[in-house]
Amino acid sequence: MKYKAPRGTRDILPGEVERWQQLETRFRQYCTLYGFSEIRTPIFEHTELFLRSVGEDTDIVSKEMYSFQDRSKRQLTLRPEGTAATVRAYLENNLSGQPQPSKLYYQGPMFRYDRPQAGRYRQFHQFGLELFGAAGAAADAEIIALSHDFIRSLKIKEVNLELNSVGCPDCRPAYRDSLLSYLEPLAEEVCPDCRRRFAVNPLRVLDCKDEKCRTLAAGAPVLEHFLCQPCAEHFNQLRRLLDRLAIPFTVNPRLVRGLDYYTRTALEFVCPDLGSIAGGGRYDYLVEDCGGPPTPAVGVAFGVERLLLAADEAALQQEAVPPVFIATAGENLEEEALALAAQLRSRGIAAETELMGRTLKGQMKQCGRKGYDLVLILGQKELSQDLVALRDMRTGEQKELPRKQVLDTVEQLRQAVETSAR
Ligand code: AMP
């Protein structure tokens, strides 16, 4: 074999792709239910956008971006996440000038030079929600409620919603100072990454995965005690709303998230064996930082691969209705088969014809292997009498039908199968 897919990427094959499609459909249904509309942005953006929004000191920007120069020497980057591009599109297309809030969702591949492992890829996929223009905790609650409903529909066994407030530019500096006073004497004990974080963003020490750092972080001052009154009220209000909606959560005072733009709410849906399956929060200054008017916003992104790993097998199963197979018994019947397939397809019934020149026996064997249930058999002699054979593979029953009854009969049988699949 000469070529392999690049490390950290994978093919999604027939047999597996159906679960992806089910998941995508499910996500869309919940978005529609909550009044979110889809936005599709380019796969690559100007590198500058991510430097400015995600933050130069974040892991994503400093270690994980796929950046390149195009032939006109533009610095471009394959998108590592969806929020920055959505903000850019929201401003560039003047969605901010339309009645607010703007409720948007996206889905598609993201790219990070991460260390590949189970559920972690270099090209991975996210579903995301972004809600622009609403400052109140009800907007956070709406993002969380949609996420909760969608995740619950997947019957994931153990999933916990973790919440925190990371404050705002008014109250965070005091916390940062207090945290630094606590951490500085421990400089020799934390990991080298965290020592570097002291200077750029000490809050990120709180969610370091290193065992030693975690133990040290457990004794750190708690952010919630430093929240200014509006931030504290926002956090309280959000908790009240979630209680009212019967959405369970736990407050994790060490949840700070790896991106720079979060203010107030930080949230993560966590599974014990997979880690975070979705994460997000409020980002009230990002739109302004990207050159727009002051615009509060809140969003979340789901890792599709992880949702698929975590989802219950049965929750994404749908009985696929197989195509009707049009078999040919003898030479020169291809044209007749194609014409009949076209008629079935025009009635919305999936149909396939023989393209490999197999014998009738070979075709029937193939239908058995593929799990096809209905086979129409065209034979020269029968056609000359205006007859077509219909074989039900489930019962082995075969009968001859007048040519003009074929479409109606197949349609009735298909409807019966679809109803029972439902
Ligand atoms: P983030 O954009 O880092 O907040 O991540 C949001 C979600 O995307 C996470 O909860 C993961 O489920 C998923 N995710 C992030 N990075 C990867 C990756 N390299 N491979 C697969 N999923 C990922």
Q: pLDDT tens per residue, the chain (422 residues)?
A: 899 999 999 999 999 999 999 999 999 999 999 999 999 999 999 999 999 988 887 888 989 999 999 999 999 999 999 999 999 999 999 999 999 999 999 999 999 999 999 889 999 999 999 999 999 999 999 999 999 999 999 999 899 999 999 999 999 999 999 999 999 998 889 898 888 888 888 888 888 888 899 898 889 999 999 999 999 999 999 999 999 999 999 999 999 886 778 999 999 999 998 999 999 999 999 999 999 999 999 999 999 999 999 999 899 987 778 999 999 998 889 999 999 999 999 999 999 999 999 999 999 999 999 999 999 999 999 999 999 999 999 999 999 999 999 999 999 998 887 676 55
Residue length of the chain: 422
CB 56 within 8 A of CB 67: no
Same fold, 17-169+227-310 and 323-421: no
pLDDT of residue 72: 97
Residue 112 CA: nearest ligand 1 atom is 19
pLDDT of residue 234: 98
pLDDT of residue 319: 73
CA of 8 to the centre of ligand 1 (A): 13
pLDDT of residue 416: 80
Contacts of 417 (CB under 8 A, 6+ apart): 321, 373
Residue type, position 331, single letter = E
CB 293 within 8 A of CB 344: no
pLDDT of residue 200: 81
Q: Is the CB of 277 under 6 A from ligand 1?
A: yes
CB 264 within 8 A of CB 166: yes
pLDDT of residue 420: 67
Closest CA to 58 of 7, 114, 104, 8: 114
Question: For a pocket test of ligand 1, which of 162, 276, 308 has the largest count of ligand atoms closer than 8 A to its C-beta?
Answer: 276
Residue 258 CA: nearest ligand 1 atom is 3
Q: How far apart are CA 255 and CA 141, in angstroms?
A: 18
What are the tokens at 239? 């908790």
pLDDT of residue 421: 58
Q: Is the CB of 126 under 6 A from ligand 1?
A: yes
Residue 257 CA: nearest ligand 1 atom is 4
Q: Is the CB of 121 under 6 A from ligand 1?
A: yes
- Enter the pTM of the model: 0.90
pLDDT of residue 199: 80
Residue type, position 247, single letter = I
CATH architecture of 17-169+227-310: 2-Layer Sandwich (3.30)
pLDDT of residue 197: 82
For the chain, helix (H) and strand (E) counts, in that order, are 15, 16
Write down the domain spans for the chain.
Answer: 17-169+227-310, 172-223, 323-421
pLDDT of residue 55: 86
Ligand 1 atom 16: the closest Cα is on which residue?
120
CA of 53 to the centre of ligand 1 (A): 17
CATH architecture of 323-421: 3-Layer(aba) Sandwich (3.40)
